[in-house]
Structure 1
């Protein structure tokens, strides 16, 4: 028997970005401000929901859970693929709680989002990021929430968060547009 050689891993740039993105989690004052602004945006957007029940309205605004977010990402065309017509549902951003166990549950989301150029916002909280995400959509917990691009007040809050330097408390935490 011969010696086994280790294979060197030449990870694509999206996987290298994924490693650095997971290290850049939002917590503390930045997270509190984001969650506060999102709650205000949700309450403002609810006023224009018409005759829809709250549960149906939330499903129209958000993709809730790892499976649903993954399904929507799979249906979105890759960023360099011009052959497919644009899908009717596009994700503006994805919120991911990094306090899940095992980590493999959400590990694929940043990689898939990178190929579709959807920014990923990692949430880390001592009280449990999954509890904070769940509270946004009236659930006990949620590991990931995709925000659908619908042009509502919720989308304006996310745009402000992604683009406005004043919204962020410190410059050491960055969101990478993947």
Structure 2
């Protein structure tokens, strides 16, 4: 039987605390207000665009989940040193510009932590802001409510093409 290293828990809490200091971290009342405002905007936009089925519309507006957010970030061109994003096209995209993200909402209280460890660094290289959500062990549940799923560890808000 393998003994658990007591320092690993301290190290994980320190990583979350360090990340929280450097990023926007929402918890408590701030988190409630943020999620309420996002839900309000999603509902009002859905009412305006009733032509598409709800799931397709949500997929056009959000990158849902760590894998989808990572894939969209990796396809985005790295930002130039001047602080503006380079508008490059993906090879093989046949003239279509790559999907861009405005912001990423990330549940920082997920377990295991390594699921999301790469996202802030990748987002920083693309100049995409990361908003951390922390609600005990319920951050992913709260994010899932926004897109009507059980859980969502990461949500990427896509740039609207309209």
TM-score w.r.t. the length of structure 2 is: 0.76
- Call closer, same or farther: CA 1:63–1:123 in 2, change over 3 Å: same
Matched, 1:123 2:128: no
Deviating 4+ runs (over 4 angstroms):
none
Q: Unaligned regions of 5+ residues in structure 2, if any? A: 1-15, 91-96
RMSD: 2.2
Deviations for 1:137-173, whole angstroms, at most 9, x for unmatched residues?
A: 0000010000001178xxxxxxxxxxxxxxxxxxxxx
1:75: which partner in 2?
Answer: 75
1:27: which partner in 2?
Answer: 27
Deviations for 1:43-69, whole angstroms, at most 9, x for unmatched residues?
A: 100012232111111001000000000
State the alpha-carbon separation in 2 of the partners of residues 20 and 110 from structure 1.
12
- Call closer, same or farther: CA 1:83–1:64 in 2, change over 3 Å: closer
Helix, strand or coil at the partner of 2:156? strand
State the alpha-carbon separation in 2 of the partners of residues 90 and 103 from structure 1.
25
Q: How many residues align?
A: 135
Q: Unaligned regions of 5+ residues in structure 1, if any? A: 1-17, 153-178
Shift of 1:84: 2.8
State the alpha-carbon separation in 2 of the partners of residues 92 and 151 from structure 1.
12
Shift of 1:21: 3.4
- Call closer, same or farther: CA 1:106–1:51 in 2, change over 3 Å: same
State the alpha-carbon separation in 2 of the partners of residues 42 and 83 from structure 1.
27
- Call closer, same or farther: CA 1:47–1:21 in 2, change over 3 Å: same
2:106: which partner in 1?
Answer: 96
State the alpha-carbon separation in 1 of the partners of residues 149 and 37 from structure 2.
18
- Call closer, same or farther: CA 1:45–1:83 in 2, change over 3 Å: closer
Helix, strand or coil at the partner of 2:26? coil
State the alpha-carbon separation in 2 of the partners of residues 76 and 48 from structure 1.
28
Helix, strand or coil at the partner of 2:160? coil
Out of 138, 143, 154, the position equivalent to 1:133 is 143
Shift of 1:93: 0.2
